[in-house]
Structure 1
Amino acid sequence: MAEPKNTATLASNLMSGQFINVQKLHIAKMLTDEPNGTATYETPINLGRILRKVDIKPKTSQAELYADGQSIDSVTGTASYDLTFDTAALPLEYIAYLFGHKMENGVMVAGKDDVAPFFAVMFQSDKRNGKKRYTKFYKVQFTEPSETGSTKEENIAYATPTITAKAIYRLSDGLSYTKADEESGFTEAADWYASV
């Protein structure tokens, strides 16, 4: 049987640029997300040179249907995505903004009624061949980071913070994330961080 034409074309055009860097972490606070409505955001903010590593783990579940002694069907669903960002630094202003705390005159105050808002999160992965892949999660809520510190010893070690977050689906359109890749023909990189 002949291979479908579109599959053959896809296979012949596949490229495999290896990822060598991740950078340009941007966030945009979500303002509205109504069912069957339109999600709105503030203008994206560049968090600067802080991103060291990104880890994305889908939270999936699977069910199988058995009949006559064998599996006859299977369904898999992804409920959310666990995100982990290793950062070089996390200024108090960033922490206050991400978790809904108050910031005044260089002092951050965390209250029991503070609620972490939702954000869109954007970043890019650079490839060895010069191409880039762009990732945008639409509805992300960060969780308070754990902190550790140690005294200065003979060998200096950096203490770099890690923040975790959960990405869920938007109510307005059911979307969770989007990706774009220059190796697949994406040409609008200049506008990727301009808006959600």
Structure 2
Amino acid sequence: MAEMKPASRMVSGQFINIQRLHVAKLLTDEAGETATYDTPVDLGKVLRSIDIKPSNSSADLYADGQSIDTATNTASYELTFDTAALPLEYMAYLLGHSCENGVMVANKDDVAPYFAVMFQSDKRNGSRRYTKFFKVMFQEPSVKGATKEANISYQTPTLTAKAIYRLSDGNSYTYADTESAGLDAETASNWYTTV
């Protein structure tokens, strides 16, 4: 693929909101094949904030008393979702637990599945940036509670997850931005319907 040089002095709207958290269970991911996913699930109005931290490593090559080359690698991405309260059914689905008749059970043999994770960041000028991580595994959340005092404070859960690269094509995530030239309107309108 030929490298495209961007135009000079491009601008982007400022982010003011994040919303529309969706997940789609990864069904198959084999090298040389096309990854397949279940139908996406809209988790509703739960996303309060997200923190994306790449796990980076770097190395320098020294010769004749100076660095002559440097290399970097991103092994994975640590995702932290600050959410409103999640229904038990969603927690069980994300973590691979069972949930029947309003009771979730975490068993020692449960295996958390991989998911695609989709959401959007809204900009002050009305534009949007869409994000999709292709292979994400959620981790058991830490739970913390506090008693009600004179001033009420919400106790919101935090979900952590790790995003890795897909075996099928080596991709980890993708962005789409409505301010980017050439973005197909269909890509934005179908962002949450398929992976």
Give TM class, smaller chain: over 0.9
Equivalent in the alignment of 2:82: 86
Deviations 1:104-163 (A, max 9, x none): 111011000000000000000000000000000000000001111111110000000000
Q: 1:176 aligns with which of 172, 176, 186?
A: 172
Query: RMSD over aligned Cα, in angstroms?
Result: 1.0
Cα distance in 1 for residues equivalent to 2:31 and 2:108: 29
Amino-acid identity (%): 69
Equivalent in the alignment of 1:3: none
Unaligned 5+ segments in structure 2 are none
For 1:193, the aligned partner's letter is: Y
Deviations 1:75-121 (A, max 9, x none): 00100000000001111111100011011111011000000000000
Superposed displacement of residue 16, structure 1: 2.2
Superposed displacement of residue 35, structure 1: 1.2
Superposed displacement of residue 11, structure 1: 1.2
Cα distance in 2 for residues equivalent to 1:39 and 1:56: 23
Q: 2:155 aligns with which of 156, 159, 176?
A: 159
Higher helix share: 1
Aligned pairs, how many?
189
Q: 2:8 aligns with which of 11, 35, 60?
A: 11
Cα distance in 1 for residues equivalent to 2:66 and 2:119: 44
Q: 2:43 aligns with which of 43, 47, 53?
A: 47
Equivalent in the alignment of 2:123: 127
Q: TM-score, normalised by structure 1?
A: 0.94
Secondary structure in 1 aligned to 2:108?
coil
Equivalent in the alignment of 1:144: 140
Cα distance in 1 for residues equivalent to 2:171 and 2:159: 23
For 2:8, the aligned partner's letter is: A
Deviations 1:2-27 (A, max 9, x none): xxxx75x6114x11210000000000
Runs of 4+ in 1 over 3 A off after TM superposition: none
